[in-house]
Structure 1
Amino acid sequence: MERYGDDVWNYAFFLTSRFDQADDIFQDVFLKVYRSMFSFRGESSVKTWLLAITRNVAKDHRKSAWARRVLLMATIRRTETASSTEKEVLSRMVNGDIWKAVMDLPEKLREALLLYAHHQLTVPEIASMLNISQGTVKSRIHRARAKVPAMLKDQLTD
Structure 2
Amino acid sequence: MVEEVLKFMTRMDDFTLRELMQTYGQDIWNYAYLITRRHEAADDIAQDVFVRAYMHIDRFRGDSSVKTWLLSITRNAAFNYRRSAFFRKVMPVGFVRLRGTVLSAEQQALDHIVTDNLWNIIMRLPQKYREVLVLEARYDMTLKEIAHLLGISEGAVKSRLYRARAKISNTLKEEVEYGTV
Q: 1:106 to 1:66 in 2, by over 3 A?
A: closer
Could you say which residue in structure 2 is the equivalent of 1:40?
60
Equivalence for 2:71: 51
1:31 to 35, 38, 51: 51
Distance 1:94 1:18, change over 3 A: farther
Letter in 2 for 1:16: T
Find the counterpart in structure 2 of residue 98 from structure 1: 118
- The amino acid of 2:156's aligned partner reads T
Tell me whether 1:114 sits opposite 2:151 in the alignment. Answer: no
Name the residue aligned to 1:150.
170
1:3 equivalent among 6, 13, 23: 23
2:109 matched to 1:64?
A: no
Larger radius of gyration: 2
Partner Cα separation in structure 2 for residue 20 and residue 138 of structure 1: 32
Q: Is the 8 A contact 2:36 2:78 kept in 1?
A: yes
Asked if 2 retains the 8 angstrom alpha-carbon contact of 1:93 and 1:99, the reply is no
SS in 2 for 1:96: helix
* Residue number among 16, 26, 46 corresponding to 2:36 in the alignment: 16
The offset of 1:31, in angstroms, is: 1.1
Count of matched residue positions in the alignment of Structure 1 and Structure 2: 144
Amino acid at match of 2:153: S
Shift of 1:63: 2.0
Q: Give the AA of the match of 1:33.
A: A
Shift of 1:89: 4.5
**What is the CA distance between 1:109 and its match in structure 2?**
0.4
CA RMSD of aligned residues (A): 2.4
1:66-109 deviation digits (Å, cap 9, x = unpaired): 5546x37x89xxxxxxxxxxx8849x699611111111111000
Query: CA 1:130–1:44 in 2, change beyond 3 Å: closer, same or farther?
Result: same
Q: Percent identity?
A: 48
C-alpha distance in structure 2 between counterparts of 1:67 and 1:18, whole Å? 10
Deviations 1:106-138 (A, max 9, x none): 100000111111111111111111111110000
Letter in 2 for 1:121: M
8 Å CA contact 1:110–1:144 kept in 2: the answer is: yes
**1:80 alignment counterpart:** none
Instruction: Provide structure 2 residue ranges, at least 5 long, that are not aligned to the other structure.
Output: 1-20, 101-111
